[in-house]
């Protein structure tokens, strides 16, 4: 490891590997506690995917990991995620890690992902020529205070089963097809991801039907997350989405979950609905891209 004293205090720089997963988790939790963000970032699968890509550089002080950045090179764009402990910000560590990430990317564009957004990180990224390409709010609902949502006239809901899986996919496609940038998967791909997710909960997920029995909306639950909510265009503005979310919150509360979570894009008008239903801001997550000249 390189021992450095000037400018940032006595710290050591060196590569980080699988054996340092616990230290990476502690660093991620410190950032989540200070900044909010995606709580799943503190769990091993996402932590490993973000912070143990091809190469990871860490910064240590008195045996503790205080900053790290990971880079997946050899792809287009190269990908990277980095963190600086809240107590060590403003000392130039983030800039040095970002420079190292750029060197690893070589001639590729570089895509930064942050699961625990902070204003300081955004300012640093902008100063280094990165453009924000995606941002969403992480919202949390305390299930001790549930909203009352009246059932829309003529609407009923039913749980998802694999027998109605193809209809679930068609409802998803119809609900999302008019969104900018929508990339339609095949039914096999989309349903396959749900089947393979051990935390997907079809018994709490729902399809909403109109008076004629046709599907008009859907909601998917993964663990205690409301993962996707959609309403087909002809039924928007009739409280179908609110009713689906309210029903899911009641189901999660009945299942003894302490809180429900969801993520919503910055430019999605549904964010106002979720906040009216009692969701509160719990941080943000974002992506930034810098293209090579």
Helices (H), 106-238: 119-127, 165-176, 187-196
| All structural domains of the chain | 2-136+286-290 (3.40.630.30), 145-257 (3.40.630.30)
Lookup: tokens for 226: 């409301």
The pTM of the full predicted model, rounded to 2 decimals, is 0.91
Q: How many CB atoms lie within 10 A of CB 231?
A: 24
* Residues 175, 153: Cα–Cα separation, whole Å: 20
* Residues 161, 166: Cα–Cα separation, whole Å: 10
pLDDT reported for residue 9: 62
Counts for the chain of helices (H) and strands (E), in that order: 8, 13
Helices (H), the chain: 21-35, 44-51, 93-105, 119-127, 165-176, 187-196, 240-254, 270-276
pLDDT, tens digit, 9 for 90 and up, residues 197-218? 999 999 999 999 999 999 999 9
56, β-bridge pairs: 70
Say if residues 101 and 69 touch (Cβ distance below 8 Å): yes
Say if residues 217 and 208 touch (Cβ distance below 8 Å): yes
Please give the average per-residue pLDDT across 159-183, as a whole number. Answer: 93
pLDDT, tens digit, 9 for 90 and up, residues 75-108? 899 999 999 999 999 999 999 999 999 999 999 9
Cβ contacts of 106 within 8 Å, gap of 6 or more: 73, 78
């Amino acid at each position: 490891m390189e021992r450095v004293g000037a400018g940032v205090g006595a710290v050591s720089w060196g590569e980080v590997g699988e054996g340092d997963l616990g230290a990476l988790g502690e660093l991620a939790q410190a950032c989540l506690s200070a900044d909010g963000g995606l709580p799943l970032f503190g769990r091993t699968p996402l932590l490993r995917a973000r912070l143990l890509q091809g190469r990871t550089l860490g910064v240590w002080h008195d045996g503790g990991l205080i900053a790290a950045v990971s880079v997946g090179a050899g792809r287009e764009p190269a990908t990277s995620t980095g963190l600086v402990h809240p107590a060590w910000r403003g000392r130039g560590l983030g800039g040095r890690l970002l420079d190292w990430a750029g060197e690893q990317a070589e001639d590729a564009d570089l895509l930064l992902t942050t699961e625990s957004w902070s204003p300081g990180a955004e300012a640093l990224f902008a100063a280094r020529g990165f453009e924000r390409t995606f941002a969403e709010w992480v919202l949390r609902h305390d299930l001790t205070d549930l909203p009352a949502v009246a059932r829309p006239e003529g609407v009923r809901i039913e749980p998802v089963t694999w027998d109605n899986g193809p209809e679930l996919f068609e409802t998803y496609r119809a609900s999302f097809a008019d969104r900018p940038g929508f990339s339609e998967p095949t039914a096999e791909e989309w349903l396959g991801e749900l089947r393979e997710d051990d935390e997907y909960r079809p018994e709490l997920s729902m399809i909403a039907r109109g008076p004629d029995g046709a599907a008009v909306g859907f909601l998917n639950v993964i663990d205690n997350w409301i993962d996707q909510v959609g309403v087909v265009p002809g039924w928007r503005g009739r409280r179908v989405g609110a009713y689906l979310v309210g029903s899911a919150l009641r189901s999660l509360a009945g299942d003894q979950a302490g809180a429900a979570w969801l993520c919503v894009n910055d430019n999605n008008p549904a964010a106002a609905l979720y906040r009216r239903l009692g969701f509160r801001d719990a941080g943000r997550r974002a992506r930034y891209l810098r293209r090579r000249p």
